[in-house]
Structure 1
Amino acid sequence: MAGISGNFYEGADAIVLSGGYKDDEDRGDWILYTGQGGNEAGRQVRDQTLTKGNLALALSEEQGLPVRVIRKQRRGGVDGYVYSGLYSVRRHWVEASSDGPLIYRFELDREPSQGEWEPQEATGHRATSVMQRIVRNSSVTQYVKELYDFTCQFCGVRLEVDAGAYAEGAHVRPLGGVHAGRDAISNVLCLCPNDHVLFDKGATFVDAESRLVRTATDEVITELSLEHYVNPGNFSYHRTRIAGQAY
């Protein structure tokens, strides 16, 4: 009934798409799934929290555990459920629902090992599903990394590996899906792997006005080293939609 099967210490083993949350988006190979909680008769009346099934899905994301997807279908006037294969949880964030209260959002992609999703209509004929994927421009992230000499803008660490210096290009506003961030220099930071993960998961964020790097508990870590222009709107989007901050 909750829509998510699993627990906070093993992750989620299955989710059900049954139409109970109107903010869900199902494009076959790509799913934007609304977390559980605060929903009454198809309307969001309370904020969701990162507990129970929501926490289980977040754990599946962190540990790379696939999740079974089950879809509700109606055939011959009868409602039933169809197993649709394994999907990976790519990312999650918090945003306002169409009704107002906050909801957790989970982006899932079909596992390549499952093959292409082939939905069945009530007649048994195959329907066509079109999936668009973002092709990243590596020259953009490479430019930003070279600008900072592969030194993390948050912690100042420069990692040396056998092949030379190593850093990662972090997009402030994520690419693809509902985020629609641009693969542009004004949307990229040069971060070490640790700070990249923390930033992507919303555990850290940047105050655009003061350029302070803060944690989710609003603790100040450092001041952002910034030698190129980053659109303040991207920082604002990350704070509110990824880190779940109110400002």
Structure 2
Amino acid sequence: MHRPNQAGICGGKDGAESIVVSGGYVDDEDYGTELVYTGQGGNDPATKRQIADQQLTRGNLGLARSQIDGNPVRVIRGAGGDQKYSPRLGLRYDGLFRVVDHWSDTGKDGYKIWRYRLVALESTDPPPAAPLHGTTDQQTPRTEATIQRLVRSTAVANGVKRLHGHRCQVCGIQLATPAGPYAEAAHIRALGKPHNGPDVPSNVLCLCPNHHVLFDTGAIYVDGWHRDGGGRRR
């Protein structure tokens, strides 16, 4: 279930396969079907305290890639984790989780860490096998896989998109489809733990798919408020 003997994350630039939650980092948060997981690196194994900044490399990069690709991650809990959700002894496989968010933060010990919000995979819906269309009776070989993505469509999000005419607030592009203009809504402060952002218009951006991906992965970000030359808050 988890190949490394020591590392808490199994994976790299192509994605993460599995993680172990065993109380190795003071910034971990366990809510049962939801985790706020701390990336690897910069940790003193003896004290479990952070002594250096973490980098978006190795397993940390793998978990970020899993979010982008929508691929689930195996979660194994160890006896050293939160007593409410962890086994009394040894290790326990707790199923597939999906990475829904990742971001950099300053941890409790004052160093830069990477954090990942994972939620339990609620359902699997593999595509049915279908015959290959053409001149042969052979069927296309299929391998069953599970990918799940979270898609939100709320009155608040739709209202923000209408307010901006379905134009991206970064590049100004409006995508035209046969069904009408298309844009995506992105929450500035994410909903759910640990951000607990409000689902209100002031917390929503209207973005094209390209800039939505860049925003979700931290390539672009909102850098607070500033005042323009006339002293107005922007």
The total of aligned residue pairs comes to 190
2:107 alignment partner AA: S
Q: Which amino acid aligns with 1:69?
A: V
Q: 1:43 aligns with which of 49, 56, 60?
A: 49
2: CA distance, partners of 1:179 / 1:151? 26
CA offsets, 1:25-72, max 9 Å, x none? 111110110000011021001000011111111111111111111111
Which letter maps to 2:121? E
TM-score of the pair, normalised by structure 1: 0.71
1:30 aligns with 2:34: yes
Matches within 5 A, 1:167-206: 167-206=183-222
Distance 1:165 1:2, change over 3 A: same
On the 8 A contact 1:144/1:185 being kept in 2, the answer is yes
- 1:63-142 to 2 correspondences below 5 Å: 63-73=69-79, 79-113=89-123, 138-142=154-158
Structure 2 CA distance, aligned partners of 1:155 and 1:54? 29
Contact 2:188–2:222, Cα closer than 8 Å, also in 1 = no
Give per-residue Cα distances to partners, 1:97-151, cap 9 Å, x unaligned.
111101100110111138xxxxxxxxxxxxxxxxxxxxx7822122211111111
Distance across 2 between alignment mates of 1:191 and 1:206: 13
Q: CA deviation at 1:93?
A: 0.4
Give the corresponding residue for 2:24: 20
Tell me which protein shows more strand as a share of its residues: 1
More helix by share: 1
The amino acid that maps onto 2:226 is E
Look at both structures and tell me which one has the larger radius of gyration over its CA atoms: 2
1:59 is the counterpart of 2:65: yes
Q: Say whether the 8 Å CA contact 1:137–1:183 is kept in structure 2.
A: no
The letter of the residue matching 2:115 is R
TM-score by length of 2: 0.75
- Gaps spanning 5+ residues in structure 1: where? 115-135, 212-230, 233-247
State the superposition RMSD in angstroms: 2.3
> 1:157 and 1:43, CA in 2 relative to 1: closer, same or farther beyond 3 A?
same
| 1:221-240 equivalences in 2 (<5 Å) | none
Q: Percent identity?
A: 51
SS for the counterpart of 2:89 is: strand
Any conservation in 2 of the 1:60–1:66 contact (CA below 8 Å)?
yes
Once the two structures are overlaid, the 10-residue window that deviates more, 84-93 or 194-203, is 194-203
